[in-house]
Each structure stands twice: as structure tokens, then as C-alpha cells.
Amino acid sequence: MPFVPYLDELSLGEGLPRVWVEGLAWDSRKVRPGDLFFALPGSKYDGHAFAAEAVRRGAVAVVAERPLPGLPVPVILVPNARTALAQAACAFYGHPTRKLSTIGVTGTNGKTTVVHFLGQLLPACETITTVRVEEEGLSCVTTPEAPDLQRIAAEAVRQGQKFLAFEASSIGLAQHRVDGVHFRAAVFTSFARDHLDFHGTLEAYLDAKLRLFRMLPEGAVAVVNVRAPVEAVRAAAPKVRLLTYGLGRGDLRALRLREEKGGTLLLVDGPFGPKETFLPVQGLHNVENALAALGVAWSLGVGWPELRERLSTLTLPPGRFVRFRLSHGAEAVVDFAHNPEALARMLGELRPRARRLLVVFGCPGEADRGKRALMGRIAGQIADLVVITADNPKTEDPRRIAEEVAQGVCAVGGLFTVILDRAEAIRFALEQARPGDVVLVAGKGHERRQILAQGAVPFSDLALVQELVGSFSK
């Protein structure tokens, strides 16, 4: 239940009518009687055009950036409807993040895994990840809209949770979805090209991520990968405690790594001194992710004995570095690697393990076209065979997307084939694998649907690979 159900109590301005508000809505199709509707401008659709529909469905008032004459309900004009939505959501749910130790995790890659690890290292910790967003059908892809975020935080308070960790994406930050959140810590996992279709430039992309650190109060903790823009974070948040982490360097560093069956043995050196520990995960990027979560938990008061025990039982989120052994000795790996940095790191991780390395991937439609050839180059340089397929083409022609990826593969003399049907592409790659080979199926990880021109259809890389591996064993 909300805490402040009256319109004039939602931080939207002075002199507002005392209208009872049952809920907050920003999608006219989901408005229920008693809701306050926010007309959000967007790249494809403008919420102002749907205000009348929202009122017909029962909205008791509309928050807008321009006049909407003729509506039979109050229209509250604001400079920025997204900022107003975030402010109203905080008030509507009683500012729940003030009652939690809240951690925001940003970065090009690693956000989901770090938040997932925080949920295991911190006691009574609520988490919001990309995986949860898809499973529960929440708004947006990574960071939910402010009402969903604040609702989950309020539920966490009622359930007695002490911590809240969530992914703060660059788009979510730029669109003010996390405005009003009270943070105790923030993490910057990595920085590389992504989402330039939205941000336009790398500088704007970085500035969006730095918004998270500008929101930190004095004395909060910023945990930053040494590969991320450390000095930019320091300039954005000069009054916070900065803790860097990395492989072999940083305030918190991993030394003497040795991969063992089922995990990684390493020496963690940091403010608590050198400590030998075992992580039941593999991959250098996952060691980094564990260091990030460890740095937050340590900074927020969890002792080393508890941390060491919890580190030894960490599990990865669904769709991250999931390994399958084929009966004839080849291996298949499913991972969410969906941008140049992530694909390069996964392929680099697998290259020494493989006699031949095959990769199946595509690039999404209606997104950053510049990364398609770049990802093709990366795959062509590292893998022995690149199987280019469809990712989530949406309304774009999947063949044109594949051709742009193929240009990158050709530029480095790589070997490739194009099979647009994703299921057939995965089947083909697994059939080509021989003993000692590794097949990486990249790009969708945990996702359980594929978005085509006609809409979303059920599809899971994980489920398909598991099914095919089982059939090959018979």
C-alpha cells in the first residue's frame, strides 16, 4: 500500500487539488481507476498523445510538460515529467531507500553478476537484476521505472530487508529513474562502447553513468574497477570513500589466481590484509565481479570470516558462463556477452581452453549499428568459425544486420557463415564441434524470448542448448 495517497503530497508543486491517488502510471494501456498519469516524452511515442486515453481509463489527474486543453481532470505542468515521476514515486512509497542501505551498480558489463553476488554476500539483501526484470515483466530492460523501483524497495522494508542492490543502467540514470534514491554505495564495473544509439557519444554515455556517483552523499562508498574511469568518478564524487579493485592492482586486488575444478583459488589482498580464498566460479571477469561485491560488503561492515564463507558458495546468475559438456568431449558455453567488450573477454577466456573455438551470435535491431562490424572483427580475430545469426532484430531486416556483422569478420580474414534462424545456427555449431572444441552461444544468456518484427516469441539459448546436448548424448 502507498504511504501518501494525496496528489498534493507527491512533491509535484504548490497549490495542487487534494485528489486521492491510488497509483502511478506512465503507460496509458495500464492505467487503472484512481491512477495519476505521467505523460512521458519518448524517442518513439509521446505520452502526451495518450493522456486522453489515460483519463478514459480512470486517471484522476495528468502530469505533463505542456498544456493539454480539454481534459476533464487536473493537469499539472512540470519542466520534466520523468523527474516528476521519480519524485512522486519516492513520496508515494514513503521514501523507502532512506530505510535501506542501498547500492547502485553501473558499468558496461558485470552489473547483473555483481548485484547477484551482493545478494549472497550481504545479509537480508533485496536485489533487482536484468534477470528479475524479465522474469517479473517489470518496466524497461535493466533499471525499472521509478514506481517499480520504489515499490520493490518499499516491499523490501516491510519484509525486514536491510540492503537493496540494483543495476543502475546508463539509460535508467539518464531518464531519471533512480532520482531520489538514497545511496550508501555505488559500483562502477567497466566502461566500453555500448548504447551509443541512445547516448550519441562515449562522453554522454560516461556522463550518464557518473550521475550515479554525483548522487552519493558525503561518506558513502564508491567501489570502482581500475579499468573504469577512476579519476572521473573521483571528480564527480570528491567527498565519498573511493575503493578501487582489480586483477593484480587496486586497493582490493586478486593475486596468484589458479583455476581449479569447479572454481578459482586466489589471494585477495586489501584493507583487511592478504587472504586466501576460493571462488566457485571461473573466468577473470567473474573474479573482478566478486571483488566488486566483496569491496561493497566489506565497506558496509561485513566481516572477513562471514565474507570468506559466503564467497566460497557464490553462484552465478542464470545465463552467465553456463557450461555444457557434450558426450564426445566438446563443450558448449552460453553467456549474455552482447557488446564488444563482453564478447572479447568471453572469447579470450575460452580461447586457451579450445582446440577450435566456434561462436554463435548476432546483434540486436534498432540499436547501435556501429558495434556490429566491431563485434564481427572481434569474433573473426579470436574464433575459428563465426556463425552469424539473429539476436533480437525487432523491426530491422535481420539479413542486413548479419551483413554488417559479416563485414567486420571479413575485414580480419575470419571464417564465417550466416544462419539467420537462431535455433538452426546453434544446432549447426554444435554439430560442427569435435572433441576439444568449444562453442560459445553469446548475446541472450538468460533471456526467454526473441523479439522479431511480428513481436516477441518464446526462445531460450539455455533451454535449446541443454536440449541439444541431451539429444547428442543419445
Task: Give per-residue pLDDT as tens, 170-213.
Answer: 999 999 999 999 999 999 999 987 887 777 899 999 999 999 99
Give the N- to C-terminal CA distance of the chain in Å, as an integer: 53
pLDDT of residue 6: 76
pLDDT of residue 40 exceeding 60, the answer is yes
pLDDT of residue 353: 93
Residues whose CB falls within 8 Å of the CB of residue 308, separated by 6 or more in sequence, listed in order: 275, 277
The whole-angstrom separation of Cα 462 and Cα 65 is: 44
* 3 — pLDDT class (breaks 50, 70, 90): low
- Lowest average pLDDT, out of 57-71, 87-101, 186-200, 218-232, goes to 186-200
* 14 — pLDDT class (breaks 50, 70, 90): confident
- Domains annotated for the chain, with CATH where assigned, are 7-79 (3.40.1390.10), 93-311 (3.40.1190.10), 322-472 (3.90.190.20)
Compute the mean pLDDT over every residue in the chain, rounded to the nearest whole number.
Answer: 94
The whole-angstrom separation of Cα 249 and Cα 242 is: 14
* 2 — pLDDT class (breaks 50, 70, 90): low
The whole-angstrom separation of Cα 36 and Cα 422 is: 42
pLDDT of residue 18: 85
Q: Which residues of 122-137 are buried (b: 16+ CB within 10 A; e: fewer)?
A: beebbbbbbbbbbeee
> Which whole-number Å values give the CA distances from 334 to 53, 281, 322, 443, in the listed order?
43, 15, 5, 9
pLDDT of residue 407 exceeding 60, the answer is yes
Residues whose CB falls within 8 Å of the CB of residue 448, separated by 6 or more in sequence, listed in order: 134, 458, 459, 460, 463
3-state class of 29 per DSSP? helix
With beta carbons less than 8 A apart as the criterion, state whether 79 and 258 touch.
Answer: no
pLDDT of residue 472 exceeding 80, the answer is no
The whole-angstrom separation of Cα 30 and Cα 53 is: 10
Q: Identify the CA nearest to 169 among candidates 135, 140, 126.
A: 140
> Comparing 79 with 137, which gets the higher pLDDT?
79
pLDDT of residue 474: 59
The whole-angstrom separation of Cα 448 and Cα 131 is: 10
Instruction: Please report the beta strands in 212-327, taking only residues with DSSP state E, as ranges in sequence order.
Output: 221-225, 241-247, 252-260, 263-269, 275-279, 322-325
Question: Cell triple for residue 372?
Answer: 556490429
* 415 — pLDDT class (breaks 50, 70, 90): very high
Task: Give pTM, 2 decimals.
Answer: 0.94
* Secondary structure of 291-308 in HEC code, one letter for each residue: HHHHHHHHHCCCCHHHHH
- Going 319 to 264 to 266 to 249, the CA torsion angle's sign is negative
